[in-house]
Chain A
Amino acid sequence: MSETPEPVENVTPEPGQRSKLASVSEVLTLYAICLFVALALAALLVEFASDKGSWSSVYTVILDGAVRKPGRWGLTLGIAAPILLVGLGTIVSGRAGLVNIGQEGQLVIGAGCATYVGVRIGGPGPLALALTLLCAVIGGALWAGIAGALRFWRNVPEVLTTLLMGTVAANLVGWGLRNRFLLLAPPEGRANRNQVSLPLRTDRRIPRVELFGNEFPLSIVLALVLAFVVWLVLGRTVVGFRLRMLGRNARTAQRSGVDQKRYGIGAMLVSGGFAGLAGGVMLAGGDFGDYQLVANFGAGIGFAGLLAALVARQRALLLIFIAFLFAGLRTGSGFLRATGVSARIADVVQGTLVLAMLLPPAILYLRARRRAIAATSSRT
């Protein structure tokens, strides 16, 4: 219903240099307020809903458990590795404009594939380990690839398929863990536990490093390197450039030679591959059980990684810090049991933090949008 010419020409006012500082401080204030409210809400919950601790003691204990007590920061590093990996995959698909929320399932499939191959193949340790992790990557990638293929061939929304296939993955691996020919360990190897695989042999586990009384697997180094690689590829290469273009404006990308199917499905494969690798690393790293696959192996790491990527707003380097923060919340909450406060408070803090981090960009976007509309409302 609009007349062809759009007489208003300045839709978004050019940001002046002077107001830049003001707007930066405004944004920071907004974030600070949201963070404060989130933490205050969690604190209130501890104060009023539980008679066993005060918020200050809870935060002290979490800090102790995450870094301060001997050996704890090593554990935090070990937990951070898979969170970081899942988050990196989420960033890749997110930058391509795809919403993958099935990382938990992709991770479990990855771990399942890694277990299947890892306990069977022979050969020298390091090579076997590499093959094991490769299988984890392939498993996760293919699982996510199904959703990607359906999205680009049949136009089935990837959000729903990744979500639905998460449960399928958990059940599939659960089934594998009940069958000898797949993942289940022979009866003599599993004492009285029902669903458990054989552990990986010692020579095909990820080496652990000891440093200042803390012990952690080298997987964290792998994850950090990959974070750097993702940052480099997305920000500095032609492939990353095109991927981001696809995510930001698919039609401009199509005109500029970015094949949606190829890049889109590729991004989904990479995303799932990272989640799968996270599963493999959890299995072979040693911080999640005894180098063996058990029921509910994912332990929410897939979700944590997804949330971390969202909080980091798809920035690979920022993700590193968020992953450490989330890992710290996990390891820190392990110490809470002693105080009588439920360890679940860590999930609460994590959840309120993420919600709080979602608010400022949404508010800012909406405000920019309103301004633009106000500037053009005259032309409807």
Chain B
Amino acid sequence: MTSTSDASFQNDMVGGEHSSPPTVELIDITKRFGQIVACDRVSLTLRSGKIHGILGENGAGKSTLMKVLIGLVLPDAGQIRLHGKPVQITDPIDAATHGIAMVHQHFSLVEALTVWENVALGDVGRLDHRHVRERVAQISEHYGLHINPDDRISDLSAGMRQRVEIIKCLRRDPQVLVFDEPTSVLSPSESEFLFAALRRVVQEEGKAVALVSHKLPEILSVTDEVTIMRDGKVVRAGETAGTAASELARAMVGRDVVLRREHAAFGVMDINDKPTPSPVATTAAAPSPSPALRLVDLHITGRDGRALLSGLTLDVYPGEIVGVAGVEDNGQRTLGDVLSSLVALDSGKVEVAGIGVATGRAGAMAKAGIGVIPEDRHDSGCVLDFTVAENLFIADPDRVSRRGFMNVATMRQRAEVLIRQFSINCTGPNAPMWSLSGGNQQRVVMARELAHDPKVLVAAQPTHGLDVGAIEYMSEQLRNAAATGVGVLLISTELEEVLDLSDRIVVIYNGRIVGEMSKGHVDVERLGMLMTGAGESHE
């Protein structure tokens, strides 16, 4: 039944303690997406009356595992047992009938409707609004959630909305509750409240809870058992009590060399060809005096009143790679948008090579010399309906035009050069962008941004959704860019990527930089603490 040593450890641990079969057992679940193995023979046991934490970085496979549990993803191999009996879960409705419910990470609430209307949504049968209202009020009172069934969702704070999500789940009286990053949008006090309520649900009703998170403190304080995942595997499992934070942090992050080893294991690339130490790391150790990019006290407030950036200050010097590490949704996206001229600042300033740049003005950042490989290339990185050649010149068509006319022949020729130079795999310059694979689309974006001789290159999640070969290529390009004197700002939620590439690492948390360390002095434990808000400090 067990395969990896870690999993057997887990099973030993929980061995004969409980006489009745556990509520849920996931056994040897394997799920592949193309070449990537998202879950590699993962086992997990959820027990009634226990909160089970699932800890891991972005991409460790924990969300995939949960999707298997609620029927959004069908596993390639493995078994699911409920109360000891094997079951098939084919879709979320199926999961619901088995008593498994998920509180979503990104809300599934309709803002314009009231609380009770949202709770009723997705049910069947006659709509009895009085009954639904009463039930909402009842659940709210029972768990001390303070939710008024007639409030409109749009008037509620993120924390209150989450409570509505929970009520929506609890109303169907599930046996198993899955929380996917429940505190990612909550303030600390809201989080505390949530967990207090969660405790009661578990203790009073004997429900089994799975809590997916990458925040160490909450895992430590809330859960009874914990499973740590990395790269699709369970690396540690056991009781939470008595475990030190530093131990968990190290298990979650791994060592910074792991990235290459793991990839080599896929058989895609040969590690012997690629020496690990970056040649630039040494040359850029003494940064030149004037920064290529200077961000001073950036503030942006979102439409819902939440601060997206709150006093972010950061310098990037020519020739260095600065890695911005951090957990998702801490301002990374907004930072990328600012540097892409997509949003204007409320206050603060952006300087490129000492010259101020207007924010939010179309094309201003690109013109000032900021190249961007955006987080979502389909959103602001390329035009899918254009050809590869056109995409290579969207930021600066003047380069291939004369007196306002596009010079198609020149564009073709230059595109062909870039296609060869960046090994873009396509049928030619006239191939439509949408016909390229994700990795090749990314190469087009990369080729364009580098061809414009940028002073600064911003790479936001540059390896998002790419396969291993493409990831390696992308890393190499970033290093090369830095070697030629470009200031590279790498924004990534994949800590290993940041550790692997950066000369200097800063940590972003709640819209500002909360800590910094240089490549030679990386303390993975402390990094993990900073990223999860466990300890804030400035160097």
Contacts and interface: CB of A to CB of B under 8 A. Distances in A.
Contacts of A253: 362, 394
A323 B461 CA distance: 48
Given A254-B362, A257-B362, A257-B395, A8 B33 contact: yes
A169 B466 CA distance: 54
A252 B108 CA distance: 28
A90 B439 CA distance: 36
A241 B106 contact: no
B50 interface: no
A12 to B, nearest CB: 5
Contacts of B341: 254-255, 257
A7 B406 contact: no
B380 A252 contact: yes
B38 A7 contact: yes
Interface string A246-268: 00110111111111100000000
B274 interface: no
Interface in B428-480: 434-439, 461, 464-467, 470
A281 B394 CA distance: 37
Contacts of A259: 362-363
Contacts of A244: 386
Contacts of B365: 255
A249 B384 contact: yes
Contacts of A245: 383, 386, 394
A9 B34 contact: yes
A242 B394 CA distance: 8
A51 interface: no
A6 B59 CA distance: 9
Contact of A255 (B104, B340, B439, B493): B340
Contacts of B505: none
B382 interface: yes
A251 B34 contact: no
Contacts of B427: 14, 17
A256 B340 CA distance: 9
Interface residues of A, number: 38
Contacts of B160: none
Interface string A290-305: 0000000000000000
Contact of A241 (B59, B180, B406, B470): B406
B154 interface: no
Contacts of A6: 438, 464-465
A238 interface: yes
Contacts of A45: none
Given A3-B59, A15-B435, A248 B386 contact: yes
A5 B438 CA distance: 12
A380 interface: yes
B406 A252 contact: no
Interface string A223-256: 0000000000000111101101100110111111
Nearest to A257: B363
A97 to B, nearest CB: 11
Contacts of B383: 245, 248-249, 252
Interface residues of B, number: 66
Contacts of B494: 4-5
Nearest to B378: A249
Interface stretch (B115-123, B250-258, B397-405): B397-405
B381 A252 contact: yes
Contacts of B33: 7-8, 378-379
Contacts of B395: 255-257
Contacts of A155: none
B404 A238 contact: yes
A25 interface: no
Contacts of B58: 3-5
Nearest to B367: A257
Interface string B276-312: 0000000000000000000000000000000000000
B93 interface: no
B366 interface: yes
B151 interface: no
Given A7-B465, A242-B397, A237 B379 contact: no
A9 B466 contact: yes
A10, A237, A249, A380 pick with most chain B CB within 10 angstroms: A249
A5 B398 CA distance: 35
A8 B34 contact: yes
A242 to B, nearest CB: 7
A287 B381 CA distance: 50
A1 interface: yes
Nearest to A232: B405
B177 interface: no
Contacts of A237: 401, 404-406
A366 interface: no
B198 interface: no
B73 A380 contact: yes
A18 to B, nearest CB: 12
A256 B363 contact: yes
B425 to A, nearest CB: 8
Contacts of A256: 362-363, 366, 394-396
Interface string B333-352: 00000001110000000000
Nearest to B37: A7
A43 to B, nearest CB: 37
A260 B363 CA distance: 11
A4 B328 contact: yes
A237 B493 CA distance: 40
B379 A251 contact: yes
A239 B404 contact: yes
A378 B380 contact: no
B408 interface: yes
Contacts of B313: none
A9 B362 contact: no
A319 B332 CA distance: 46
B370 to A, nearest CB: 10
B197 to A, nearest CB: 21
A33 interface: no
A8 B465 contact: yes
Contacts of A258: 362-363
B401 A378 contact: no
Nearest to A4: B58
A11 interface: yes
A3 B436 contact: no
B59 A380 contact: no
Interface in A1-49: 1-12, 14-15, 17
A258 B342 CA distance: 11
22 contacts: A1-B105, A1-B180, A3-B62, A4-B461, A5-B464, A6-B464, A9-B466, A9-B470, A12-B434, A12-B435, A236-B408, A241-B397, A248-B383, A252-B382, A253-B362, A255-B340, A255-B380, A256-B366, A256-B395, A259-B362, A259-B363, A380-B72
Given A9-B470, A249-B382, A257-B364, 10 more contacts: A4-B464, A6-B464, A10-B34, A14-B435, A237-B406, A238-B398, A248-B384, A249-B380, A251-B342, A254-B342
